[in-house]
Structure 1
Amino acid sequence: MTEISKLAAAFAPHEELAAALLPHAFAADDGSHDAAHLIRVWKNAARIQAEEGSEARLLAAAVLLHDCVSVEKNSPLRTQASRLAAEKATGILKDLGWGTDEIAAVAHAILTHSFSANIPPETLEAKILQDADRLDAIGMVGAARCFYIAGRMGSGLYDPLDPLAEARALDDKAFAIDHFETKLFRLADGFKTEAGRRLAHEREQRLRDVLAMMLDEI
């Protein structure tokens, strides 16, 4: 069994679709947007979809391809990442013989999932993908990803003289824990589904606990 086949099994009951899409789906050198991220987002999406409904095949394709174009967090193209991914996904699904309406639905979900793009999701699949992806940015995994990305970007963990930015401007490009306030704590209130909102508030509390424990230690 190949590595792709093993990974595809995590996307049951859409293993065949996953096997076709995974070779195009993620950047191998980015541990915050890798196969593990896709699997977590799929688990989040499936959990929300079980309560909210939606077309599962379209949702699976959108999850699998939502990060198919890799753009670093500090790139000037960051706000265009979801548009670029939607365009690439459109071509991939065309090559697989998908219909125009299905492709448009998947592309819309990918386009609107991004916080940076700031485009409202209009379909249930798009709302679920956005919620599922944002769930991976908060909670324990969200904290781990935040510190991982900070290291990747060459940022410090915190300002040693003013970790809570009480007498300075927040700067999440310089200090990892500044990102908690500039973005991560803002995510929970923007969830689009009832199931997603419930999960988000649980995970946000975990994220706040991580910050509180870190502040206690420093």
Structure 2
Amino acid sequence: MASSKKIIALFKKDLLLEIRQQYTFYGIVLYIACTVYVLFLAINEPDGSTWNALFWVNMLFISINAVAKSFLQESRGRMLYYYTLTSAQEFILAKLLYNILLMLVMSLLSLITFSFFLGGPFLHAGEFIGITILGGISMSLVFTLMAAIASRANQNAAIMVIMGFPVIIPQLLLLIRISKSAFGEIFKEGAVFQMVFLLGGLDVLVLALCMILFPFLWKD
């Protein structure tokens, strides 16, 4: 059984390290600002479909840069130390919680920056914010699992991208499709809820894989 106290302690450790170092945070903020500003200079105010596609592609690269660091920064000696203090389930749950929080912050920051420079062509702002939050959580779950696997393969970040590609592309296409409802596209009755339910099912599957596979990686 996972101990909530140990999970919270590990979560606080990652959060305090990020607050003290802030390399990831400011690096991603710079990436968002530069990317959106270049898009603003190139296309100024894109139409809804273009804006939506650019936003989610930007979110993809944000999630890769933000989440990959969570495991790749951990040295072998530090992982051995964690092994003596906590269980695999507690460790991976703490990482998932931290990466979800980080992606929520980055997702909302990206949405604000996009809206400021490129306008907000969506018709239902509240709906799109909800979809953005859901998308940030989904991407953080996928890349946390991929980063955990890559960390056990001699810190090879390329493995994370290669293994994550067939998983994240369907998820990304689903998010683009769902978010079109916020831009006024009409769907069949109940279609949007079905897609959200499918996305939630994918998230549960990834979470289950984390809980099942990570203990084997933990023992390596």
**What TM bracket, shorter-length normalisation?**
0.3 to 0.5
Q: Determine which structure has the larger helix proportion and give its number.
A: 2
**TM-score (ref. length: structure 2):** 0.33
TM-score with structure 1 length normalisation?
A: 0.33
> Which protein, 1 or 2, shows the higher relative CO under an 8 Å CA cutoff with sep ≥ 6?
2
